[in-house]
Amino acid sequence: MVAAIHKLKKWLTGKRRAPEKPVSLAPPPALLERYRRYKRLLAANSAILTMVTDLQVKMNEGFLFDMHYVRNACQRLGQEVEAMVAALAAMSGGRYQALEEARRLVEAKITRELAGAVLQPGPLVLPLAEVKEGQFFGAKAEKLGDLVRLGLPVPKGFAVSAYAQKLFFEQSGLEDFSREQIRRSHIRDLESLKIAGADIKERVMAEELPPELSQALDQELAALGPRVAVRSSALQEDSLFSFAGQFETLLNVPREKVKEAYKEVLASQFTPRVLYYCHTSGFAYQELAMGVAVMEMVDAATAGVLYTADPRQGGEATIINAVCGLGSLAVGGVVEPDIYRVENEEIVAREVGEKSHMHALAPEGGVLDLETPPDRRGACLDEQQVLALHNLGLTLEKHFGLPQDIEWALTTGGKLYLLQARPLRISRQLKTEYLPPKIKGAEVLLENGTIASRGAGAGPVHLLADDRLQEVPQGAVLVTRRALPEYGVVVGRVAAMICEAGSPTSHLATVLREAGVPAIFGAKGAFSLLKPGAMVTVDAYYGNVYAGRRGELLKPPPGDMVLHQSRAWKVLERVLKHITPLHLLDPRGENFRAENCTTYHDMTRFAHEKAMTELFHISAPDPEEDGTRRLSSHLPLEIHIIDLGGGLAPEAKNLAVVKPEHLRSRPMVAYWRGVEAVGWRGPKPVDLAGFMSVVMNAATDVNIRERLHEKNFAIIAADYLNLSNRLGFHFATIEAFLGVPEESYVSLTFYGGGAELERRRRRVRFLAKVLKHLDFRVELKEDSISGRIDGYDAPTLEEKLELLGRLMMVSKQLDMSMLSEESVEQHYRDFFAEIQETKK
C-alpha cells in the first residue's frame, strides 16, 4: 500500500523523463494541412462578411451602382462561399455534404435573379383586366391592368406581350435580319448605325404579322370602338428611357390601321443609341422586347397630368396640369398649361396658362394641332373637377403606397379616364437631408463607437445581463457587452442597439442592417455609462448617443426613391434576400444544421462554427511524437509542442527542447503567464477520505497507468493554441484563436478527476462559477464542463487566457479537497482574492 501510494505520488508530482529517440521537428503534415484549411476558411469568412457589409451599405446609403457592380460583387462573394464550404469539407474529411448542396441551391437562385426573368412563351394578347406582372407585357400595360382590376375608370383595351414581338421577329426572319444589320454597321460610324436602323424599320413595316397574332388582334379590336391609342410598354423602360427617349405612342388610330401602328411602335426602338447598345451587348430580346397597349381613344375636352405629391419638395400636395383637348401638350413646354395645387382638400393655388394651341382628334385619324378658340382659353377645370381628380389621385397613391404620376382625360360629357399611372419621381434638395454631426446643446453620453447599422432610434436603456434575451422589453435601446449572432433574435423588438465590442462586419451587424435597426458597436464603456431605464437617442449616422429623446434625429430619412427605381438597385435588393438574412442564430439551436442554410450568411456562420469544432478535434487522436518538442520549465509539467507556424521564436527552430521564453504563440504566452503565476503547488492538503477515494478509483480503473502516462500536447501557431492537458486524473482541452474580434475565442472542456463523483462535481461547479464570472458561456454535465467566450478583442481574451492558466493550475487535483458545497464557495473566493492580491 505504501509503495503504491509512493508510486502514485511520484506520478502525480514527479518529472517524467523526455523521450530519447531522435524526432523530426516539422509539424505533422496532416495537422498542418488542417490548420491551413482553417485559416483559409477564416479568410473567406472575413472576406464574405466584409463584402456583405459593402453590399448593404451600397444599397442603403445612397450609392449609384450598375449591374456590372452587382454581378461582380455576387461573383466574388460566391467564390468565397464556395472556398469556405470546401475548406470545411476538407477539414472534416468530406462531411457536411448537405452544406455544399445548400450552397449550390442558393448559388442557382442568385444566378437566376441576376439574369432577370427570361422572356417566356405566353399569351400574345390579353384584355387589360387580365394583364399582370410577370407576363412580359411591360410595366405600363401591367399597371393599367392593376387599375382596371381596382375598378378605376380606364378606357377599354388590351395589351400585346413582348413575347408576341419575339414570335414576329423569329417567324419573319426579322431577328436574323436585324442581327446582320447590326453586325454590318460600324461601332465608330454613327452614320452606319443610322442606316442600319432605317433598314430594320423598313423591313419591320414590310413584314406580315404571324397569323395567330393577327387573329388575336382582330378578335380584341372587334370589342373596341372605332379609334384607339397604341402605346409602347417596354420591358426595361426605365433603363432605356434615359437615353433612347420615350418610344412611339400613336393616338387616334383607326381600327383597321392598328396592325400597322403596332409595327410602327416596335420599329421605333431601333435608334442609333439602341443599335450601339446591341452592338456592345448583343441583340437581346430580354432588354429590347416590347409590349404594347391598345386602348379606346378618349375624345378629351380637357386632359393632363396629376402628381399626388410635389415632385420638387415632396410635400403633401396634389398638383394638376391641364390643357384643352388631348393631353399630349400637357408636358413638354410647348404650351403653358393650367396648374392647380390642392392641399388639405382645398385648392390653394390656380394658375391659368396661356394654352395657345391644343391637340384634337383628326377625322381621318391622328392628331390635329389647332389654335385654341378664345372661349376655351380660361381655366379648363372647375373646382369640383379638380377635387374629383385629387381624390382619384389619393386612391391610387393609397393603393400603390407611393406617390403617383398620372395621365388623365376628361370627356365633353364630364367622364373622367385614367390613361397611365407610374411612381412619381420625387426629388429633394440635398440640404434637406443634412444633419449636424453633433446636436448643439444636447448631452452626449457616448461618442466612441463605430456605426454598425445606419439610422437613429430612441428608447429606454436595457443592459443585457447573462444573455437573458427574453427579458428585453419592446422598444428598448439594447446595450450589450458583445456582438453575438444570437442577439439577432431581438431585432424585431428593439429601437436601437449599442455593443461595447464588435465590428460592422460581424454577423450581428449584418442582421441589424437587414432589419433596419440602428446600431453602434465598439462603444467602450457603454455598460457603465448608460443607466438602465434612462431614455436615450442613438444617432447611428454620426456615432453618438444622446440623453433623452432627440426628435430631430428620429424623423424618418427621406427614402431615396430615385435610386430605388434603378434596375441595379432592384436586382441587388432581390439578390440580397439570398445573401444577408441569418436564420442560424444560435449554434445550440435545433435548426443549426447544414440543410437549414438558405442564405450565404447562414452558410458562413454554420461553416465557421463547425470549423471550430473540427479544429478542436485536431488533438483528438494523440499526435505522434514526430514533430513535437518538449517545453522545459521549472514546473514539473511535461508539455509537447507542435508548432504549426509562428508559435515559437525563430531561434528555437532546431531545438528539440524549448523554453517558455521561446514561446511566441499569443494565446499560449498568455496562458503560460497564468500557469507560472500560480506555479506548482502540489496537491492541496486532503482529508483521508478524499485521498482514499483517489486511490480506490485508481485501483479500479484499468486504464490508470495509461492515463497517467498520457502526455500534454500543445498545438500552437502565432494566433492559435490547442492544449490537451492531463493534469493528474482529469482531462482538459483549452483552445484559443486570437484574430479579429469576430474570429477570436477561447474555449475549454474539462472532465474527470481522481476523486469520487460528488467531489468531482463540486470541482466543476467551482470551475463553472469562476468561468461565468469571467463571462464564459458554460455548460455543465455530471463532472464535465465546457465553456466558451467570444465576441471580444484579442487583448481581452489574452487576459481571460491568463486567468484560465491560473485556474487550471489551481484546480489541479482540487477535487480531492472538495469536502462540501461550502468548499466550492471558498475556493471561488480564494481564487479571486489571490488575483486581487497579486494585482496589489
Q: Among 523, 517, 421, 434, which Cα is nearest to 479's?
A: 523
Smallest distance, another protein to C-beta of residue 521, A: 22
Nearer CB in complex with another protein: 5/284: 284
Residue reference for cell 496589489 = 840
E strands, 109-216, where? 125-127, 157-160
Nearer CB in complex with another protein: 425/705: 425
Nearer CB in complex with another protein: 72/391: 72
Is the dihedral angle over the CA atoms 212, 213, 216, 218 positive or is it negative? negative
Smallest distance, another protein to C-beta of residue 405, A: 13
**φ/ψ (deg, to 5) at 698:** -65, -40
Cβ-proximal residues to 516 (8 Å cutoff; 6+ apart), any chain: 453, 455
Nearer CB in complex with another protein: 280/700: 280
Q: Are 331 and 321 in contact (CB under 8 A)?
A: yes
Cβ-proximal residues to 444 (8 Å cutoff; 6+ apart), any chain: 438, 544, 545, 546, 547
**Which residues are 447's β-sheet partners?**
none
Smallest distance, another protein to C-beta of residue 277, A: 6
- The H or E element containing residue 229 is strand 227-234
Residue reference for cell 390601321 = 257
Smallest distance, another protein to C-beta of residue 186, A: 9
CB atoms within 10 A of CB 256: 10
Smallest distance, another protein to C-beta of residue 740, A: 23
Question: Position 526: which residue type?
Answer: A
Cβ-proximal residues to 373 (8 Å cutoff; 6+ apart), any chain: none
Smallest distance, another protein to C-beta of residue 744, A: 30
Instruction: Kindly give the residue spans of alpha helices, DSSP state H, lying in 577-639.
Output: 600-616
Residue reference for cell 444560435 = 586
SS3 of 295, please?
strand
Q: How far is the C-alpha of 532 from the C-alpha of 545, rounded, in Å?
A: 14
Nearer CB in complex with another protein: 222/430: 430
Cβ-proximal residues to 702 (8 Å cutoff; 6+ apart), any chain: none
Q: Are 478 and 472 in contact (CB under 8 A)?
A: yes
Nearer CB in complex with another protein: 247/792: 247
Smallest distance, another protein to C-beta of residue 271, A: 10
Nearer CB in complex with another protein: 189/626: 189
Cβ-proximal residues to 206 (8 Å cutoff; 6+ apart), any chain: none
Q: Are 817 and 823 in contact (CB under 8 A)?
A: yes
Nearer CB in complex with another protein: 7/186: 186
Q: How far is the C-alpha of 614 from the C-alpha of 142, rounded, in Å?
A: 53
Q: Are 438 and 544 in contact (CB under 8 A)?
A: yes
Smallest distance, another protein to C-beta of residue 313, A: 12
Nearer CB in complex with another protein: 185/725: 185
559, 562, 568, 570 alpha-carbon torsion, rounded to 10°: 50
Question: How do beta strands 657-658 and 629-631 pair?
Answer: parallel
Cα 49 versus chain centre, distance: 9
Smallest distance, another protein to C-beta of residue 231, A: 20
Nearer CB in complex with another protein: 189/661: 189
Nearer CB in complex with another protein: 504/728: 504
Question: How do beta strands 249-254 and 318-324 pair?
Answer: unpaired
Q: Which residues bind another protein (CB under 8 A)?
A: 58, 61-69, 187-190, 193, 236, 238-243, 272-273, 276-277, 279-280, 287, 425-430, 560, 562-563, 565-568
Smallest distance, another protein to C-beta of residue 322, A: 24
* CA-angle at 746, arms to 771 and 671, nearest 5°: 85
Smallest distance, another protein to C-beta of residue 721, A: 37
- The H or E element containing residue 430 is none
Nearer CB in complex with another protein: 288/545: 288
**φ/ψ (deg, to 5) at 547:** -75, 140
Smallest distance, another protein to C-beta of residue 241, A: 7
Smallest distance, another protein to C-beta of residue 189, A: 7
Q: How far is the C-alpha of 172 from the C-alpha of 310, rounded, in Å?
A: 47
Q: Are 325 and 357 in contact (CB under 8 A)?
A: no
From residue 32, alpha-carbon distances to 152, 203, 655 in Å are: 71, 69, 19
Nearer CB in complex with another protein: 112/567: 567
Smallest distance, another protein to C-beta of residue 334, A: 17
**φ/ψ (deg, to 5) at 714:** -120, 115
Q: How many CA atoms lie within 13 A of 705 on its CB side?
A: 2
Question: Position 9: which residue type?
Answer: K
Nearer CB in complex with another protein: 67/387: 67
Nearer CB in complex with another protein: 22/333: 333
Q: Among 308, 371, 297, 359, which Cα is nearest to 330's?
A: 359
Nearer CB in complex with another protein: 62/378: 62
DSSP single-letter state for residue 661: G
Cell of 281: 451587348
Smallest distance, another protein to C-beta of residue 233, A: 17
Smallest distance, another protein to C-beta of residue 429, A: 7
Nearer CB in complex with another protein: 242/470: 242
Smallest distance, another protein to C-beta of residue 428, A: 7
Smallest distance, another protein to C-beta of residue 520, A: 21
DSSP single-letter state for residue 632: -
Nearer CB in complex with another protein: 40/567: 567
